[in-house]
Structure 1
Amino acid sequence: MSSNQTNTDVILIGAGVMSATLGTLLKELAPDWKIKVFEKLANAGQESSNEWNNAGTGHSALCELNYTPEKPDGSIDITKAINVNEKFQLSRQFWSYLVKSGQLHNPRDFIRPIPHMSFVEGETNTAFLKKRFHALSNHPLFQGMQFSDDPEQLKKWIPLIMDGRTSSEPIAATKIDSGTDVNFGALTRMLFDHLKQNNVEITYKTRVEKIKRTSDGLWKVTVQDIESGTIEDHKAKFVFIGAGGGSLSLLQKTGIPESKHIGGFPVSGLFMVCHNPEVAAQHHAKVYGKAKIGAPPMSVPHLDTRYIEGKQTLLFGPFAGFSPKFLKSGSHLDLISSINPNNILTMLAAGVKQRVLTKYLIQQVLLSNDQRMEALREFIPKAKSEDWDIVVAGQRVQVIKDTDAGGRGTLQFGTEVVRSADGSIAALLGASPGASTAVHVMLEVVQKCFPDQMNEWEPKIKEMIPSHGVSLAENPELFQEIHTSTAQTLGLDGSDSDK
């Protein structure tokens, strides 16, 4: 075992889509900066970013009903839907810039056009969906959305879902053709391949053991080669922790005040995967349903056309599971070891508050394969057990923190960045909508952690992301121009589609 020390400008911990995005942004903004990446697995994009570990939805609120809650007066609140949509537009612009500048090739390898649909049953849900349609379809960001409660029309849109459906309950769906399927695993690997070609040092099979502030104001990151046991110290001016579920424990190692009173609750996911290509070929959409009463937002059922390794497949889920691990490759001690004197009251308070979630997870864990098939048949009435397998998807760690609105031990379902007061270190925590908003989230990191460089960097940011700092919702002409341009660059305009 040996130890040595090197200095660099930026250290990125974790080789997922967030680190890949931040590294790519910084290489464009400060080409001379030295960047190092440390990843404990053997390749990039193997945990949350992996194509089998997430839904692959380009989350833009086109079909996700939980982004459009019904207000007490019966009207539909589309504020969050607009916010999520605008964030995804930033990702589209940045990816388009990288394609145009030759840094990403063959966008079809990571993004494809796919209709996004919402599907509901029952009089109450049908009325809700119709109100949602009227609220969204008049907005510039959601133009082109269609609504139907006509079974004959729905047979054309979603034949697999309609085949064999005998219920007399009202049904309805919305459809918008500008949705996307995104292979975040492929995108992550493509970005890291490009970073490697631009002198970014990426080290795999390396575990971060310590993160400590030094007397000279730098951060010392101690890493160990998993295979050889060699220990090295690396000092950097800025550290970003983008290790998915592993970010919380690494953030706690920093000791910064902002890491106190934050806990995490791990939730694993299962998807049913269709291995019958004849069945998969009958469906061409991402169809999101409505979560059952009392179920958390993460439980929204959806039937998704996916393109993985160049092949069309069909996934249904998610079904929740529980493991104390914070990563699929993590330890069964992750949850216990994350609890310390600084967050134990926060965690205990969450345990009291989240009895409904706990009950839901227990019910999900106890589901049999037959019961999962019953859930699938609510979407595909004629589904056959022999056509479907179970795949264990990624681990997500939901953030638990003390908030003014929710009090002590509030469970957070979004994505958030925790950073030190001086901006020298930042960590990404949380889950959905996650990867879809990577560019927005990493721009936020750039702005808050490098305020002194923003005047110099602003023109380059605007070149990469033309709508940066502008509300597309309030500038429909700009939105239309950008949406059309990015669709053409990314092959989303129908000119290079399978369907």
Structure 2
Amino acid sequence: MLTYKGKVIMSNRHIKSDVILIGAGIMSATLGTMLKELAPDWKITVFEKLEKAGEESSQELNNAGTGHAALCELNYTSEKTDGSIDISKAIKVNEQFQDSLQFWSYLVNRNLISNPQNFIMPLPHMSMVQGEKNVEFLKRRFETMSNNPLFQGMEFSDNTETLKEWIPLIMNDRKSKEPIAATKIDSGTDVNFGALTRMLVDHLKNNEVDVNYKHSVESIKRMKDGTWEIKVHDLEGCKMEYHKAKFVFLGAGGGSLELLQKSGIPEGKHIGGFPISGLFMVCNNQEIVEQHNGKVYGKAAVGAPPMSVPHLDTRYIDNKKSLLFGPFAGFSPKFLKTGSYMDLFASIKPHNITTLLAAGVKEMALTKYLIQQLLLSKEQRMEELRDFIPTAKSEDWDIIVAGQRVQVIKDTAAGKGTLQFGTEVVSAADGSIAALLGASPGASTAVSVMLEVINKCFPQQMKEWEPKIKEMIPSYGVKLVENPELINEIHTTTAQALELNKK
């Protein structure tokens, strides 16, 4: 033990836990809450570098707040060479979101969290396209999806009067003669993931989980007995601590890649990260905010990453209605909004440099797109907004910086240095450590992704835990798309528990 002026600055004594969660965002909060239900006697410890939970990617203005159920996001449905529409990815994302709705309902029904309207609100999800070719695509997409039990209630219209009822702000004073169409489904949601994260972490704190803010993880080292030693810097107490755990989860958003590399596990080799930042435009005129009700997603520009699909969103933040448009993509070498400008360079290692270089060659279109986005003036951004709101005035809109996302780059069957879009779990062969990497649909699928972590990392406990998992998520182990009656039951029970039927 080292001391300075009577204060401990480093302790060699290991503080033992069963589980250590690094990062206090929606992923760690979800995993911690699930494990507390499955193994209530386990000691769980959380480390967060910032001063409170959910301040990075989970923070309400750092993400779109869309309950991603593939109801409106056109990038989850693709056109095949024969003209038919592939909705397999949309089905997967929707089923994952149903897991989240069921788990949140379980927590509300058992009074583990309360006041669901503080984090989730019912909101129509819409897709809107312009141009004859895009209208034809949207109609075929609607015909395919509306025949699937997961997407019951979806409507399509290319009728001007109907669209004026659905999206009056978008249709007002529209001079363009281009064909325009939209789909609408009223079962969509707006989710405040920041508020939900804080609720879950407060629940954990009230149930003997040790949550440590202003604690930065400096190193991760595997011990001879297979456990993990975590060296932690207590930023407020100005001291170092050593913690030890059987299982470690790296849920630090863009910071997870650095921690994964520090762990030294072979599964973390040949993986890199490409950071993408974002901007949203926020309406400061409440009269305009009140004229729109829904999340309206358009089509991404050629070369744009899926996370940059333009959308005009009603949001509920602190129970106040707001209106956002974006995101506009940008670039920063930081892996976290509060990170370092050296993050990207520090992530380059001998084992992943060829992977990163290969991605650089393959993603020239993305690089060009990001440069173009960086050079946009506010007035140029306003012109993009006017594709959605023809009457938009610059003085009614402000620009805010959204969160950082780190897209995974790795070697796949598709080739070396493939840029991945989505959320990915990387775990050690023995299941003693797991990392969550990637971006959208991210938070919306947190429950499904954490089930994947639990299955990978705790196979010995799964037989014992399965009844409880089915209690928390009744559709666990079932393909919803093949069970229409169960879909209807889940839609009814989750809407009731989460108060989604209230206007």
Distance between the aligned counterparts of 1:301 and 1:377, measured in 2?
Answer: 12
Per-residue deviation, 1:296: 2.1
Percent identity between the aligned chains? 73
Distance between the aligned counterparts of 2:433 and 2:349, measured in 1?
Answer: 21
Per-residue deviation, 1:309: 1.2
SS in 2 for 1:98: helix
**Which residue in 1 is equivalent to 2:470?**
462
Per-residue deviation, 1:297: 1.2
Q: Which amino acid aligns with 2:474?
A: P
1:436 aligns with one of 444, 460, 464: 444
Alignment pair present for 1:487 and 2:502? no
**Which residue in 1 is equivalent to 2:295?**
286
Alignment pair present for 1:215 and 2:224? yes
Distance between the aligned counterparts of 1:222 and 1:450, measured in 2?
Answer: 24
SS in 1 for 2:480: coil
Distance between the aligned counterparts of 1:37 and 1:156, measured in 2?
Answer: 48
Distance between the aligned counterparts of 1:485 and 1:309, measured in 2?
Answer: 25
1:252 aligns with one of 233, 237, 261: 261
Per-residue deviation, 1:164: 1.1
Per-residue deviation, 1:299: 1.6
SS in 2 for 1:99: helix
Unaligned runs of 5+ in 1: none
SS in 1 for 2:78: coil
Alignment pair present for 1:168 and 2:197? no
Per-residue deviation, 1:310: 1.3
Per-residue deviation, 1:227: 2.7
Per-residue deviation, 1:264: 0.2
**Which residue in 2 is equivalent to 1:200?**
209
Counterpart mapping for 1:319-330 below 5 A: 319-330=328-339
Alignment pair present for 1:410 and 2:409? no
**Which residue in 1 is equivalent to 2:58?**
49
Distance between the aligned counterparts of 2:156 and 2:296, measured in 1?
Answer: 13
Per-residue deviation, 1:278: 0.5
Distance between the aligned counterparts of 2:302 and 2:454, measured in 1?
Answer: 39
**Which residue in 2 is equivalent to 1:356?**
365
Distance between the aligned counterparts of 1:5 and 1:452, measured in 2?
Answer: 26
**Which residue in 2 is equivalent to 1:225?**
234
2:485 aligns with one of 477, 492, 496: 477
Per-residue deviation, 1:294: 2.7
**Which residue in 1 is equivalent to 2:6?**
none
**Which residue in 2 is equivalent to 1:23?**
32
1:112 aligns with one of 103, 106, 121: 121
SS in 2 for 1:394: coil
Distance between the aligned counterparts of 2:263 and 2:378, measured in 1?
Answer: 43
Q: Which amino acid aligns with 2:442?
A: G
Q: Which amino acid aligns with 2:361?
A: V
Q: Which amino acid aligns with 1:298?
A: M
SS in 1 for 2:145: helix
Taking structure 2 as the reference length, what is the TM-score of the superposition?
0.98
SS in 1 for 2:481: coil
Counterpart mapping for 1:266-277 below 5 A: 266-277=275-286
Deviations 1:251-305 (A, max 9, x none): 0000000010000000001000001110000000000001122322122100000
Counterpart mapping for 1:323-402 below 5 A: 323-402=332-411
1:124 aligns with one of 109, 130, 133: 133
Count of residues in Structure 1 that have an aligned counterpart in Structure 2: 494
- Segments of 4+ moved more than 6 angstroms: none
More divergent stretch after superposition (1-10 vs 421-430): 1-10
Alignment pair present for 1:426 and 2:434? yes
1:102 aligns with one of 81, 100, 111: 111
Q: Which amino acid aligns with 1:460?
A: K
2:163 aligns with one of 154, 158, 174: 154
Distance between the aligned counterparts of 2:393 and 2:252, measured in 1?
Answer: 38
**Which residue in 2 is equivalent to 1:450?**
458
Q: Which amino acid aligns with 1:447?
A: N
Alignment pair present for 1:83 and 2:92? yes
**Which residue in 1 is equivalent to 2:10?**
2
Distance between the aligned counterparts of 2:332 and 2:148, measured in 1?
Answer: 41
Distance between the aligned counterparts of 1:145 and 1:207, measured in 2?
Answer: 46
SS in 1 for 2:273: strand
**Which residue in 2 is equivalent to 1:307?**
316
SS in 1 for 2:402: strand
